[in-house]
Amino acid sequence: MRNLTQSEVIARLAELERAVILFHVRPDGDAVGSAFALRRALALRGADVWCVCAHRLPDRLAFLCDAEEEQESVLPDALPERFADAPVITVDTASPAQMGDAGVQFLPRIVLMIDHHGSGEPYADHYILPDASATGEVLMPILAALCGGDELDPLVAARLFAAITSDTGCFKYSNASPATHRAAAALIENGMSVPADEINRLLFDRKTAGTLAAEQIALRNLRTFADGRVVVSTLSHDERISAGLMTEDTDTMIDAIRVLDGAQIACMLKQQEPHPNKPGVWRASLRSTGIDVAAIAACFGGGGHIRAAGCSITAETAEEAVEKIVGFCPTPCNGSFF
């Protein structure tokens, strides 16, 4: 297993005639944009390429792969027979665990891993740039080299832009470096099949009715603690069922509450499907403006990053779940708050 140079990656990609591109479960805009940008760039060189993920693509990302490709599904079952022994490249996938059920099938055939997560466990020859905002940013010069220094195909450029804007939260997060902005500017100058403002609208400025209904519940159940520094909300299983919400509708509830002015820690508690004779299990999503919420999650056997973490809490009622998590949040008295 080797750490490759950029020119080695370009050389390896250039000689591929057939390949599978694999990306992580719960696919996001960076994974899908990067995979389909790479797919198209290789296809334009005459290679036969197919994208695979153990989870189906969310509808909101369908615009990233609805062009002329004949590919209808990324699910492993849909992989055409001719790819049965094709080499596999992964993008944006830091560890085998992130491949979900596809890991067992594809892991032995992975010849190249392209990523930007510094914390991963390399599982093949790899090219990882931890300072890059997104795998799309890592791929941009590689795909530019593959097209021989000519202008990037407009569809490739749009997919790379989508990957970058997705992982930087529309260039809002601290990972959006000067190099990131320069890469995005170069893609806009290159020309894209979808304009930048439209890509950003499609990724950031639209929500399903189910998402809005879930956010409505998040706001209705919102409570604050520690003089407004801690904001918590809950979604019980009964509330979710009676509102007709799918699990994916509830993903942005944490974002709806964390924006409350003055909040330094936000926690969204979602009750999991109850089992008979078993107390309720509540999935906690934690966000912060700088306080280490991974440490709070660790108190319940969870983990994550300083500003974003998660854990599971056992509690009979929403009230009990809230009490438990708030009990582990820092207070103004112990000096943990700013």
Minimum distance from residue 115 beta carbon to Mn ion (Å): 8
Q: Tell me which stretch binds Mn ion (CB under 5 A): 12-20, 30-38, 121-129, 184-192.
A: 30-38
With CB atoms as reference, the residue minimizing the distance to Mn ion is: 30
Minimum distance from residue 34 beta carbon to Mn ion (Å): 7
Q: Tell me which stretch binds Mn ion (CB under 5 A): 90-98, 195-203, 258-266, 323-331.
A: 90-98
Q: Which of 4, 90, 158, 167 binds Mn ion (CB under 5 A)?
A: 167
Instruction: Assess contact for 199 and 310: CB atoms under 8 A.
Output: no
Binding mask 208-247 for Mn ion (x = CB under 5 A): ----------------------------------------
Burial class of residue 104 (count of CB atoms within 10 Å of its CB; 0-12, 13-18, 19+): exposed
* Span 128-157, contacts to Mn ion by CB under 5 A: 134-135
Minimum distance from residue 57 beta carbon to Mn ion (Å): 15
Distance CA 38, CA 208 (A): 29
Distances in Å between the alpha carbon of 261 and those of 59, 98, 169, 228, 285? Answer: 31, 34, 19, 8, 19
Minimum distance from residue 311 beta carbon to Mn ion (Å): 23
Q: Tell me which stretch binds Mn ion (CB under 5 A): 163-171, 187-195, 221-229, 289-297.
A: 163-171
Quick one: 102 or 267, whose CB is closer to Mn ion? Answer: 102
Q: Which of 30, 137, 153, 215 binds Mn ion (CB under 5 A)?
A: 30
Q: Which of 32, 92, 102, 157 binds Mn ion (CB under 5 A)?
A: 92
Tell which residue, 227, 246, 224, has the closest CA to residue 235.
246
Burial class of residue 332 (count of CB atoms within 10 Å of its CB; 0-12, 13-18, 19+): exposed
Quick one: 30 or 215, whose CB is closer to Mn ion? Answer: 30
Q: Tell me which stretch binds Mn ion (CB under 5 A): 91-99, 100-108, 119-127, 176-184.
A: 91-99
Minimum distance from residue 173 beta carbon to Mn ion (Å): 11
Minimum distance from residue 130 beta carbon to Mn ion (Å): 11
Distances in Å between the alpha carbon of 14 and those of 111, 145, 148, 190? Answer: 14, 10, 11, 22
Distance CA 139, CA 103 (A): 23
Query: What b/e string do you get for 210-239 counting C-beta neighbours within 10 Å, with b at 16 or more?
Result: ebebbbebbeebbeebbeebbbbbbbbeeb
Per-residue tokens: 282:
């509540």
Backbone angles phi, psi at 148, to 5 degrees: 70, 25
Minimum distance from residue 18 beta carbon to Mn ion (Å): 25
Quick one: 156 or 296, whose CB is closer to Mn ion? Answer: 156
Quick one: 98 or 221, whose CB is closer to Mn ion? Answer: 98
Minimum distance from residue 197 beta carbon to Mn ion (Å): 22
Backbone angles phi, psi at 296, to 5 degrees: -70, -45
Q: Count of residues binding Mn ion (CB under 5 A)?
A: 5
Q: Does 115 bind Mn ion (CB under 5 A)?
A: no
Burial class of residue 248 (count of CB atoms within 10 Å of its CB; 0-12, 13-18, 19+): middle
Q: What is the DSSP string of 75-113?
A: SGGG--GGGTT--EEEES--SGGGGTTHHHHHGGGEEEE
Quick one: 94 or 265, whose CB is closer to Mn ion? Answer: 94
| Positions that interact with Mn ion (CB under 5 A) | 30, 92, 134-135, 167
